[in-house]
Amino acid sequence: MSKRPIRILSNLARAGGTLISRCVGAMDNIVLLSEIHPLDQRFFNPLAQAQDWYRLLRPEDTGGRTFSFIQAIQLIEQRCSEQGKTLIIRDWAHLDFIGIPFIAHPARRLLLTEQLAQVFTVSQHALTRHPVDQWLSTSRLDIMRGHLELDAFLAGYRQFAEQCSKTGFTRYEDFARDPLSEMRTLCTQLALEFDARFIDRWHSNRHVTGDLSGSSRGSRLGRITPLPQLPVDPDLLRRFRRNRDYREAIAMLGYHDPPEHT
């Protein structure tokens, strides 16, 4: 018996994943579960999101039952199919490639994809952001300060970039410049029906996890637009340039080294 299809959208923290997920989820007949991971049993529950956000489940679906991770996703996908909806899972790839502060030794491979590929045919697409900008944003998070080291971040970033080069990816910077065109390409990659109305709907879509509080620069905007380049300390930029993972990653993803400001 052939496996049913499922779609996964992957991104590391502070790569525009919340914004782009809000856009994807604003299209018609899309059910997007956000930051789902088989190792997480504390923060993001797929059954809770499916019910609280989309009212997908019936009382008899979950009453008195215990689900494995895969069984939970199978049930959600079945209910989506019955209602003519398409399920997309935004994974929590931070746990796979960076880990800190939740996991000390990340697997450095896509664990959600590995598990779901046992029972589904997986289509996957990734979201990326320039590593310098992503580091500047990630390292300022309270939970990261004093815990995340640059070399460890870049090692995980490079290994995530390797996966991106296999699955295909959308760069956050490109999406911010031309969201309609980039969304059309993303939909083609994931075999989704493109719905241009997302551009007017995304801001009211709160069915997503991540920064909705306004603490990041992008989350405070009511429209999709490129963010100005943050200033980079010359010494920090030189540390990036000396790092082999950084050089290999930006080459894989088509990024350029930012200019040094003095």
**Residue 2: pLDDT band by 50, 70, 90 thresholds?**
confident
The answer to whether 249 touches 154, Cβ cutoff 8 Å, is yes
- The mean per-residue pLDDT over the stretch 208-235 comes to 76
What is the greatest pairwise CA distance in the chain? 64
State the pLDDT at residue 162: 98
Comparing 223 with 25, the larger pLDDT belongs to 25
CA 75 to chain centre: 22
State the pLDDT at residue 220: 58
Segment 7-39, tens digit of pLDDT = 999 999 999 999 999 999 999 999 999 999 999
**The CATH number of the domain covering residues in 4-253:** 3.40.50.300
Segment 40-96, tens digit of pLDDT = 988 999 999 999 999 999 888 888 888 999 999 999 999 999 999 999 999 999 999
Which residue is associated with the tokens 């896509």?
A: 110
Task: Tell me the two tokens of residue 103.
Answer: 């996991």
State the pLDDT at residue 214: 56
Query: What does the mean pLDDT of the chain come to?
Result: 92
Domain boundaries, the chain: 4-253
The answer to whether 123 touches 8, Cβ cutoff 8 Å, is yes
What is d(CA 90, CA 170) in angstroms, rounded to the nearest whole number?
14
What is d(CA 129, CA 237) in angstroms, rounded to the nearest whole number?
16
